[in-house]
């Protein structure tokens, strides 16, 4: 029997005495090659140390809190000959690389991982066919990405197809060497068409189609299903918004049988159907109208636009339909079963779904709750169709002459941007003393200055006291130190926030904890207090943003598949798609002041940006916050056109632990708005040449 393999810390660059923050395995655990063993955390980043080979964990030599450097022994690994020794040589290719034969028929069990192929250990060629591609057939091949003799990894793209709806890559189901290619560019293919043959090396392919010894089923056993149900899945995803469909598709990609429950006819949830996507379509139209007005100052005059509401609604709906139909196709390709209707838990393993055709029941081994949130409606208001929420506003039934928007947050101001451009006289009332209360005041200032000149009125520190419905409109009274007199409006849009749907899904029947605000508490693996039930998105807490939900959804799906993963984002960016846009991430000045955190601020005014001036939009500002001494990036805020696109660079920088020098030495293209991030960093470094550098204290 081979001696145990000592697994040591590999080359980790210039780092030394790095603390261990998590030990991911225990003695007796079976690990695959590249499975993470421990997590280290330096002052710059966290990093996992992977196993150099497959085997069984013997003795642990370290624990959480220990510090390690290159060469430190972490543990011993028994039966690890397949993966090579600590230096990575001496590996046995036959033992380390199981493969897939044409029929993928398992061989009798051995002491090592399951192996596939001929008894002599030579790997047979497998035929790769076009998989299920939905309703498409006779789809043209527009690119063949490999040649005979090429080595491919599992999931490497082989060919690209292009239908009238989309392009799609067909990935390799296994790792191996390409042999015979059966088609060429211009050929048309359908499901089952032979693409090529691969002589499989089998690297990373196990009995269930996943990695060797990778745990496919939940690591925490779910209780047995009580009674019978109409449908059963290994994973049920409860809600099909961005977080929900991402979780469902990722779980399916990891080999799990998935059912997706959705109350609406179309997939995509609030975001795709009545939220993020239709609002951005209308905001694009609003920007075009505004640009046509602004062109007068640049020597070009357009006639006033003629607004065809039917055409506008039709275009908005076409955008939504294209995305939701795409989701239908992706679900079908992944064999994700969709059950439509309103779901409620009836036990820890069963959801009852009330649909158009009656009730059905769905049982599961694991569940991911992605049931989202709902718009808040103020109490005591009349039941009048002229009082609408954001969903109603996106319908664009008409263009009201006078529109009151209750709530000066992101949703309210985005809708104000749309209706102002369409011709409504817009009044905004906000209870707090600033618009978009979560953002720093200096970022809001350029936005407020611009819209104050366009809107009928903006009332801060003011609340709606009452709304009375009359034939000639909605009479609204206000309260506050600077409250205006009562006024009559044609419509009132309520945009006072959203509340989580935790109380609306029968969570108590599953034993899932819902707090007093309606949120479902979760850990970093997105587990609720019931270990086999996860939750993601709006329903688990602020910020209620689709991009947070999608990343949480992937984590939950991977944990369901037995992966060692967790949600560990350093920041979640926020964007108001107003005109100008406002975006921020990480620590804000307001937060820093409230928490007593000292920061260094560096700002670059867009009035010194050639690109901003050429756009006729010089009101913007890019602001960066750094840690004193280290000058490590802590937060950022941007106001100006396309701020939502620009903020991503700073999110990436924060995740990487970048400092002011890193950002200032990054070469940005000129002339661009992205330069303003580099210029702000140069302000912090004192190396700015486009302005006078700030005086050193």
Which residues does the annotation mark as catalytic? Answer: 670
CA-CA distance, 518 to 583, in Å (whole number)? 27
Q: Which two tokens stand for residue 632?
A: 């490590």
Nearest to 260 by CA among 241, 278, 279: 241
Q: Long-range contacts: 195-199, Cβ < 8 Å, 24+?
A: 195/128, 195/129, 195/130, 195/158, 195/159, 195/170, 196/127, 196/128, 196/146, 196/158, 197/125, 197/126, 197/127, 197/128, 198/125, 198/126, 198/128, 198/152, 198/172, 198/174, 199/123, 199/124, 199/125
Reported in sequence order, the residue ranges of 2-66 that DSSP labels E, i.e. its strands, are 5-8, 18-23, 30-31, 36-41, 46-50, 55-60
Rounded distance, CA 383 to CA 331, Å?
A: 39
DSSP string, 90-129: S--HHHH-----SS-PPPPP-SSS---S-TTSPPPEEEEE
Residues 684 and 667: their CA atoms lie apart, in Å, by: 16
User: Shortest CA distance to 218 belongs to which of 257, 244, 246?
Assistant: 257
d(Cα 480, Cα 431) in Å, to the nearest integer? Answer: 9
The backbone torsions φ and ψ at residue 188, rounded to the nearest 5 degrees and listed phi first, read: -110, 145
Rounded Cα gap, residues 289 and 270, in angstroms? 26
Relative to beta strand 67-68, strand 18-23 is antiparallel
Q: Write the CA distances from 34 to 31, 53, 83, 640, integer angstroms.
A: 8, 7, 9, 44
* Helix count and strand count (H, E) for the chain: 15, 38
253 vs 131: CA distance, rounded Å: 13
């Amino acid at each position: 029997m081979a001696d145990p393999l000592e697994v040591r810390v590999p080359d980790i660059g210039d780092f030394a005495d790095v603390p261990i923050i998590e030990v991911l395995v225990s003695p007796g655990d079976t690990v695959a090659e590249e499975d993470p063993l421990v997590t280290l955390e330096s002052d710059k980043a966290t990093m996992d140390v992977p196993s150099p080979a497959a085997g069984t964990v013997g003795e642990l030599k370290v624990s959480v809190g220990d510090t390690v450097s290159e060469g430190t022994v972490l543990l011993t690994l028994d039966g690890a000959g397949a993966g090579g020794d600590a230096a990575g040589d001496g590996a046995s290719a036959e033992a380390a690389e199981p493969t897939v034969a044409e029929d993928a028929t398992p061989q009798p069990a051995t002491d090592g991982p399951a192996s596939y192929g001929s008894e002599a250990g030579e790997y047979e060629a497998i035929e790769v066919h076009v998989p299920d591609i939905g309703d498409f057939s006779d789809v043209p091949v527009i690119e063949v990405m490999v040649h005979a003799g090429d080595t491919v990894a599992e999931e490497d793209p082989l060919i690209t197809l292009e239908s009238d709806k989309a392009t799609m890559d067909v990935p390799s189901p296994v790792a191996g060497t390409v042999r015979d290619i059966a088609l060429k560019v211009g050929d048309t293919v359908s499901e089952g068409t032979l693409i090529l043959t691969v002589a499989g090396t089998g690297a990373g392919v196990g009995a269930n189609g996943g990695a060797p010894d990778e745990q496919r089923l939940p690591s925490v056993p779910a209780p047995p299903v009580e009674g019978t149900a109409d449908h059963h899945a290994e994973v049920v995803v409860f809600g099909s918004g961005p977080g929900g469909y991402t979780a469902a598709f990722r779980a399916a990609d990891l080999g799990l049988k998935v059912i997706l429950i959705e109350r609406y006819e179309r997939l995509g949830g609030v975001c795709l159907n009545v939220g993020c996507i239709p609002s951005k379509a209308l905001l694009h139209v609003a920007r075009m109208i505004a640009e046509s007005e602004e062109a007068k100052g640049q020597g070009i005059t357009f006639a006033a636009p003629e607004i065809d509401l039917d055409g506008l609604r039709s275009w908005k709906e076409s955008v939504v339909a294209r995305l939701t139909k795409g989701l239908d196709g992706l679900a079908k390709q992944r064999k994700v079963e969709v059950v439509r209707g309103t779901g409620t838990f009836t036990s820890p393993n069963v959801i009852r779904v009330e649909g158009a055709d009656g009730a059905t029941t769905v049982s599961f081994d694991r569940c991911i709750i992605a049931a989202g949130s709902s718009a808040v409606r103020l109490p005591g208001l009349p039941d009048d169709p002229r009082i609408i929420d954001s969903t109603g506003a996106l319908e664009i039934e008409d263009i009201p002459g006078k529109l009151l928007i209750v709530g000066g947050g992101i949703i309210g101001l985005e809708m104000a941007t749309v209706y102002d451009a369409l011709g409504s006289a817009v009044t905004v009332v906000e209870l707090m003393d600033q618009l978009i209360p979560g953002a720093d005041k200096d970022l809001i200032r350029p936005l407020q200055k611009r819209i104050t000149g366009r809107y009928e009125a903006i009332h801060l520190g003011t609340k709606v006291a009452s709304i009375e419905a009359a034939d000639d409109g909605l009479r609204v009274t206000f309260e506050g130190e600077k409250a205006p007199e009562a006024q009559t409006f044609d419509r009132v849009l309520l945009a006072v926030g959203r509340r989580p749907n935790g109380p609306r899904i029968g969570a108590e029947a599953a034993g899932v904890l819902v707090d007093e605000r309606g949120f479902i508490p979760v850990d970093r693996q997105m587990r609720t207090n019931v270990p086999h039930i996860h939750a993601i998105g709006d329903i688990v807490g602020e910020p209620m943003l689709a991009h947070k939900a999608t990343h949480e959804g992937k984590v939950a799906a991977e944990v369901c598949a037995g992966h060692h993963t967790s949600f560990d984002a350093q920041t979640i960016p926020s964007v108001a798609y107003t005109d100008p846009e406002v975006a921020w991430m990480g620590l804000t000045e307001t937060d820093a002041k409230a928490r007593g955190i000292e920061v260094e601020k560096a700002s670059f005014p867009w009035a010194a940006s050639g690109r901003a001036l050429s756009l006729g939009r010089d009101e913007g500002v890019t602001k960066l916050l750094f840690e004193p001494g280290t000058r490590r990036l802590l937060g950022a805020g941007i106001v100006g056109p396309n701020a939502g696109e620009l903020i991503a660079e700073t999110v990436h920088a924060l995740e990487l632990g970048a400092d002011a020098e890193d950002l200032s030495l990054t070469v940005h293209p000129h002339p661009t708005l992205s330069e303003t991030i580099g210029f702000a960093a140069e302000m912090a470094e004192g190396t700015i040449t486009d302005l006078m550098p700030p005086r050193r204290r």
